[in-house]
Amino acid sequence: MSTLPQVGKVVQLFGVGCEGCGHFRGNFSVMSVVDDAITKLVLDPQEIHCEGVVDKQSFAPLTLQWNRELECWQAQCDGHPVVVNISGHYRGSGQVVA
SS3 annotation, 37-91: CCEEEEEEEEEEEECCCCCHHHHCCEEEEEECCCCEEEEEECCEEEEEEECCCCC
pLDDT at 19: 66
Count of the separate structural domains present in the chain: 1
* 98 inside domain: yes
Closest to 78 in 3D by CA, of 39, 27, 21: 21
Range of the domain at 16: 1-61+71-98
pLDDT tens, position by position, 25-65: 899 999 999 888 788 999 999 988 887 666 666 667 889 99
* 66 inside domain: no
* 93 inside domain: yes
54/31 Cα distance (integer angstroms): 22
* 82 inside domain: yes
Between 43 and 92, the higher pLDDT residue? 43
* 13 inside domain: yes
